[in-house]
Amino acid sequence: MSVIVEILVRIAFQILEKLPEWVVGKLLSKIGREPPPHPPETAGPYSPDCGNKGIDLRQERLLVSTAFGSYFAGLLEREQNYVALKGQIECPLIKGVEKWEPIQRIFWALQQPKGPRLLIIAADGGMGKSTLAAKVVRCLFEEQAVDMILGDSAKTQRVDPSTGELTRIKPAFYSVVTFYTRVCEQLGLPSVDDQKQALVAIKDRLFGRRAVIVVDNLETVRRGDELLRSLQALTTRDIRVVVTTRDVKDLRELTTDILIVHLLPIKELEVVRTFLEWHIRQHQDENPRLQALLGDLKEKKRLRWLVERTGGVPLLIQLVFSDVARFSWEYLEELPHLFGNELLSFLYQARWDELGSLGEEGQMARGLLRWIAKEQYKGKKVTFKRLTQWAQMQGKTDLLTDSLRLLYERFLIVNHNPDHGDFALFPSLVEFVEQQVQL
């Protein structure tokens, strides 16, 4: 008899668990039992500094795909490569954490068992999508939410595994199947042509792991919405997906469990000043002339002028500001009335043409750009030692220092490791250099 009663009580409580909380409270109060305390909706706010620490990919047991190239891997390793810009991240309000900063809401949402499992970072080129994605991934690692990083960058070239040479990919080539083939390779799985079979194999291999899957440049993936839908089938409370894309309007209506954030141009002058102060600290060793502009940042008229000519796009602000350091603030008057990608293309082309007029140092600087871009696609680190070896092969070791200086001042090439060298180019610059190689 007691066994039957125990079973009935257990069934009763299972039914209670399915009822709304207010109903449960009233029922339990009727029989003289208080409902269990409701757990708080949120833990303490995540620090905005979460994810600022670099990850030593040689020491940590993370599966990091070289498919991202040295640029994304460098973002994961480099300290303090992200600067918080007030008003740049447009993140939906989330119940219970409305008062938190957008970056804190993103961190919190991705680490909740019932939170969104797919993060989409949308913005035009030069807005810092990859930088933010890397910070999010690093925060997940810092909070011990992930132990594996997978994914791919939907680029326009691929590396032939047998020869190591680069071959150009047609725009329609990179598809859902291509992406999953790449992920299967990273997991040590045999290549599968059938998408459903690939999904099953990947899901089985990820069982029990805490992973984040990164999809860079979704807009270059044919039928990107289909990829997102299939990725949702992979997600669990321990598997998250982070996507960067320039455009979300072509994605058909997706299901729930998705958090979409947009990166906006920076327009507030105080925010622009903070960003430029950070820029000077980051690049003053390679471009000492930037230090002379520190006092000019107090002049609102000049900052407003800079924002008007660049549209508030962070990368454009940095490139134009580097020209101001080389010339003067009057340089802004010479800029054509272009914005966004058109202005970016103009700035890259003007710098490329200028290198062509600077003698042997300029020609070598062009060659350096081509070589770094090629190595970046291969996922190989470009260290000081490898730079020197490359210059020796060209028979121009004496020109290396001056050629590097030209690139620092004009193209803002990134060095993730000041001691040993770990050079990389912005993705938009890699695309531009690739176009010059084809001409």
Tell me the C-alpha distance between 54 and 138, whole Å.
Answer: 7
Tell me the C-alpha distance between 100 and 98, whole Å.
Answer: 6
**CATH architecture group of domain 66-263:** 3-Layer(aba) Sandwich (3.40)
| SS3 of residue 81 by DSSP | coil
Tell me the C-alpha distance between 270 and 282, whole Å.
Answer: 19
Distances 356 to 132, 366, 437 between C-alpha atoms, Å: 34, 8, 14
DSSP 8-state symbol, 382: B
220: nearest Cα among 190, 188, 181, 250: 250
What pLDDT was estimated at residue 330? 95
What pLDDT was estimated at residue 149? 85
Q: Exposed, middle or buried: residue 412 (CB in 10 Å: 0-12, 13-18, 19+)?
A: buried
428: nearest Cα among 82, 128, 160, 76: 128
Place of tokens 């999904």: 199
DSSP 8-state symbol, 127: S
Dihedrals phi, psi of 357, to nearest 5 degrees: -105, 10
Dihedrals phi, psi of 380, to nearest 5 degrees: -100, 140
H helix intervals, 337-423: 340-356, 359-378, 384-394, 400-411
- Please give the radius of gyration of the chain, using alpha carbons only, rounded to the nearest integer: 25
243, β-bridge pairs:
120, 215
Q: What are the residue boundaries of the structural domains of the chain, listed by start?
A: 1-38, 66-263, 269-438
Place of tokens 């040993």: 420
Q: What is the mean pLDDT of each run of 10 residues along the chain (439 residues)?
A: 49 47 41 39 69 76 51 76 90 86 92 88 91 92 87 58 48 66 85 83 90 81 75 88 82 71 95 96 91 96 96 96 95 92 95 96 96 83 93 94 94 86 86 78
Phi-psi region of 393 (alpha: psi -120 to 50; beta: other; left: phi over 0): alpha
| SS3 of residue 318 by DSSP | helix
Query: In the structure encoding, which two tokens stand for residue 192, read together?
Result: 């599968």
Q: State the chain's maximal CA–CA distance in angstroms.
A: 98
Q: Exposed, middle or buried: residue 270 (CB in 10 Å: 0-12, 13-18, 19+)?
A: exposed
What pLDDT was estimated at residue 62? 55
Q: CB 334: neighbour CB atoms within 10 A? A: 9
Tell me the C-alpha distance between 335 and 309, whole Å.
Answer: 8
